[in-house]
Structures are given as C-alpha cells and as structure tokens.
Amino acid sequence: MRVGCPKEIKNHEYRVGLTPGSVREYVAHGHEVLVETGAGAGIGADDNAYRAAGATIAKTAADVFAKSDMIVKVKEPQPNEWAQLREGQILYTYLHLAPDPEQTKGLLASGVTAIAYETVTDDRGGLPLLAPMSEVAGRLSIQAGATALQKANGGRGVLLGGVPGVLPGKVTVLGGGVVGLHAARMAAGLGADVTIIDRSIPRLRQLDDLFAGRVHTRYSTVEALEEECFSADIVVGAVLIPGAAAPKLVSREMLSGMKKGSVLVDVAIDQGGCFETSHATTHAEPTYEVDGVIHYCVANMPGAVPVTSAHALNNATLHYGLQLADKGLKALVDDHHLRNGLNVHKGKITNRAVAEALGYELVEPKAVLAA
Ligand SMILES: NC(=O)C1=CN([C@@H]2O[C@H](COP(=O)(O)OP(=O)(O)OC[C@H]3O[C@@H](n4cnc5c(N)ncnc54)[C@H](O)[C@@H]3O)[C@@H](O)[C@H]2O)C=CC1
Ligand SMILES: CC(=O)C(=O)O
Ligand SMILES: [Mg+2]
C-alpha cells in the first residue's frame, strides 16, 4: 500500500502523523511512504531524515492526497483537506466529529473510510490512541492554567504552590480519567491544593489509592461542582463520554459564583467543551475572558510540545497503522477494537455517539464492512 503523510496545517500544529522511525516500520513491512516536504520540521526531522528512513518526499500536500491509499495525520482534516479525500482511501487521524457537523458533512461527501484515533478501544476499557495526547494535555493544562493565573495575563495573581506562610492555590479537576490524572499529578507536584471530581466511584477509589491522601476526590453532583468551582483558582475540564459531545458541567450562571481572575482550562474542548461559555481557541490566541473568568480552550494543546507529542502519538498509532497498511479494510473486520475507531465509511456514519450527537442514522460498522 502507499501510505501518505501530509504536513499538518491547523494553527500552530507542529506534530506529524509519521515520525521517521514509523516510516522505517512501514517500509520494513513492504509499503511505500510518501511524506510532504517539511512535514517533520516541527519535530526537527528534515526531508533527509525521512529519505534515510525510506520515504519519498512529495512537493505538495495535493500530491500526497492524490497518490496515497491511506493518509496518516494528527488533527482532523481542515476543509481544503477533506475536499481531497476520496472513496477507497483510508484516513487515520483524530476526528472529534460529534461537535463538528461541517467536517462530518465533508467526510461523508468524500466517501472516505475515516478511522478516529479517539474512539479506538482496548481490552481494559481505555482509549489507547487518545491516551498519550491526554497525558500530554493533562500535564500541559497546569502549565497553561498557572500562566493564565498570573496578574499580567489577566489572572488573579496566585502562585499555585504558595510560599511558606501563605496558602497554595486551589485546582479543581473535572473528570479523573487520563487528562485528569495527569493534571492532578502536575498540580500536586507544584504544591497546589487539588480536588478531582468524577462520576465513577471505582475511578475515585483508584485515584484515592494512587495519590494516598495528597489529592482530594469528590463524587460529581451539582453541589460538589459548585463548591469546588467557586473556591478554585484553576478548573480543568477533563470529562469524556467517548465519541459524544462533552456534557456541560459548568453553566454560564455558575461563572458568577467563581472568583474574578480564576482560570478555566477546557481540555475537553475538542469534544465541544464542558463549560457552557467555552469556544475553541488557538495557540496564537489561547485565552479570552467571560464575566471576569479567564478561559483557555485550545483544541490541539499537544501541538505546543510536538517533539514529545509526535513520538508519544506514533508509539500508540503505529501498531494499528501497520495492520491497516498490511490488510486494508480486513484489519477492521479482524479487530473489534480498531473497528470501534471507524466513524465514517462510504458516506455513512458508523459510530453510535457521533450519529446520536449529529442526528444521523447509524450503520453498524460490521454491516457496512460486509457490504
Ligand atoms: N484539548 C486538547 O488538546 C486535548 C483534549 N483531549 C480531550 O480531553 C478529554 C478527556 O480525555 P481523557 O482524560 O482521555 O478521557 P477519559 O475517558 O480517560 O476520562 C474521562 C473521565 O470523565 C469522567 N466523566 C464523564 N462524565 C462525567 C461527569 N458528568 N462528571 C464527572 N466526570 C465525568 C469519566 O468517568 C472519566 O473518568 C477528551 O475530550 C479528550 O478528547 C485530550 C487530549 C488533547
Ligand atoms: C486529542 C487531540 O485532539 C489532540 O491531541 O489534538
Ligand atoms: Mg484536539
């Protein structure tokens, strides 16, 4: 198969779908790899590094889209990218379709077979291709929140760790999954007073064990949300219902109860966000203010640390990428975890949460692959 990797074009997105190390693996499996010139510049991998790994360098993205059987990317395709996709081609990347009706229409119209990293599953109930970027975004959320909390950046001017004789800042984390765990670790490491809220009691038990009293846990009720958000300096939004639009846990009305200059970091923004007042921002202009509360809502946070992120992402995506290259659609038939990643195929929606969120008919992946 010919596998193509275009340069990412989203605002300040420096990750790349295939590192030179991954290219070597595809080539070793007998595949041709076509990489757009400059695709790896953000991680310090120049065209020669890709040539040395066995890739052919394409002069334009159009060349990559036109000539490849499978496109491996990082971010959801942008409008001029989805216009270049076609039936019979596989797209392997993050999609986040539930909050994005326009992209969904574009992918359906193209006829492409689109596999979303974020809905591929594993035997332990996890999302193995989302997890590494959730680790990065969770850790980054505290750096971003702490920076926004500084007075010159519009924040209330609190140092998260405090100092001897002065209390630390307070961080509330909504959702104790992968993002939440890593946010809590960073916040606790800086000396902040940290509380994680989740609706899964087994998960709260695990977190309580793990942090051994260093982090507080609370079951998710409106009362708990209000108390923990009203007293927080930073609230990290990290809830997820896989594939679906994020539940809005913090309403506009609740903002009036929050401290002026406190910071909301809505990591869940790629699924639409869990604060009513969130809208996606970019690394170029990451924050805005509503009712005195600073909002940070960057939908591609890991793009800010591409050297770490691209390698972590490739570690996770390589296995299934090779299966797809080796077997084509049969890889989806053979493995139900990879099949859970199938969101769109030949103009049909094949993911239940996406179909429900956007009002499309669901066509079961097994049925559509057999057709
Ligand atoms: N903005 C960005 O750059 C990035 C965003 N993300 C996003 O971050 C979000 C979280 O991802 P993960 O931590 O990997 O998900 P996860 O599935 O590991 O954790 C989600 C947690 O939310 C909890 N939850 C769900 N509904 C809840 C509710 N109503 N109240 C309290 N807790 C609730 C679940 O029990 C679970 O523990 C996702 O939307 C993901 O796409 C991930 C990476 C990068
Ligand atoms: C998960 C995701 O959307 C990202 O890493 O940008
Ligand atoms: Mg995202």
Tens place of pLDDT for every residue, the chain, 371 residues?
999 999 999 999 999 999 999 999 999 999 999 999 999 999 999 999 999 999 999 999 999 999 999 999 999 999 999 999 999 999 999 999 999 999 999 999 999 999 999 999 999 999 999 999 999 999 999 999 999 999 999 999 999 999 999 999 999 999 999 999 999 999 999 999 999 999 999 999 999 999 999 999 999 999 999 999 999 999 999 999 988 999 999 999 999 999 999 999 999 999 999 999 999 999 999 999 999 999 999 999 999 999 999 999 999 999 999 999 999 999 999 999 999 999 999 999 999 999 999 999 999 999 999 87
Residue 134 Cβ < 6 Å to ligand 1: yes
Regarding whether 154 and 231 lie in a shared domain, the answer is: yes
For a ligand 2 pocket test, name from 11, 15, 298, 300 the mutation site with the most ligand atoms within 8 angstroms of its C-beta: 300
319 is catalytic: no
Annotation-wise, does 354 bind a ligand?
no
From the CA of 256, how far away is ligand 2's center (Å)? 30
**Does ligand 1 have an atom closer than 6 angstroms to the CB of 207?**
no
Output the six-digit token pair for 205.
């038990």
- The confidence score (pLDDT) of residue 73 equals 98
Tell me if 64 CB under 6 Å of ligand 2. Answer: no
What is the model's pLDDT at position 370?
87
Ligand 2 geometric centre to CA of 66 (Å): 25
CA of 92 to the centre of ligand 2 (A): 13
**Domain boundary residue, one of 269, 299, 329:** 299
125 lies in some domain: no
What is the rounded CA–CA span in Å between residue 85 and residue 91?
A: 8
- Region of residue 38 (phi > 0: left; psi between -120 and 50: alpha; otherwise: beta): left
If asked whether residues 81 and 13 sit together in one domain, one would say: yes
Shared domain for 209 and 288, answered yes or no, is yes
Q: What pLDDT, on a 0 to 100 scale, did the predictor assign at position 119?
A: 97
- Among the listed residues 369, 93, 176, the one whose alpha carbon sits nearest the alpha carbon of residue 103: 93
Is there an atom of ligand 1 within 6 Å of 240 CB? yes
Q: Which domain holds residue 99?
A: 2-119+305-370
Number of separate domains in the chain? 2
- Domain membership flag for residue 270: yes
- Which domain CATH number covers 175? 3.40.50.720
Residue 203 among known ligand-binding residues = yes
Please indicate, yes or no, whether residues 360 and 321 belong to a single structural domain of this protein. yes
Ligand 2 proximity of 270 Cβ (cutoff 6 Å)? yes
Same domain, 206 and 295: yes
124 located within any domain: no
Same domain? For 189 and 276 the reply is: yes
Neighbours of 46 (CB within 10 A): 15
247 and 177 fall within a common domain: yes
Are residues 194 and 260 both part of a single domain?
yes
Query: Which of the listed residues 248, 268, 299 is the one where a domain comes to its end?
Result: 299
Please tell me the distance between residue 343's alpha carbon and the centre of ligand 2 in angstroms.
16
Catalytic one among 100, 193, 233, 270? Answer: 270
pLDDT at 371: 79
270 annotated active-site:
yes
Q: What is the pLDDT of residues 27-71, one digit of tens each?
A: 999 999 999 999 999 999 999 999 999 999 999 999 999 999 999
Q: Indicate whether 149 and 251 sit together in one domain.
A: yes
What pLDDT is stored for residue 137 in this prediction?
98
Assigned domain for 82 exists: yes
**For the segment 300-312, what is each residue's pLDDT rounded down to a tens digit?**
999 999 999 999 9
Q: Relative to the alpha carbon of 272, which ligand is closest?
A: 1
47 lies in the same domain as 113: yes
pLDDT of residue 243: 87
Q: 107 CB contacts (<8 Å, ≥6 apart)? A: 77, 82, 85, 91, 95, 97, 114, 343, 344
Are 350 and 247 in a shared domain?
Answer: no
CB 314 within 8 A of CB 93: no
Does one domain contain both 268 and 210?
yes
Mark which of 245, 274, 299 sits at the end of a domain. 299
Token output for 148: 């926004």
Cβ pair 320, 208 in contact under 8 A: no
Q: Is the CB of 133 under 6 A from ligand 2?
A: yes
- Residue 161 CA to residue 186 CA, distance in Å, equals 11
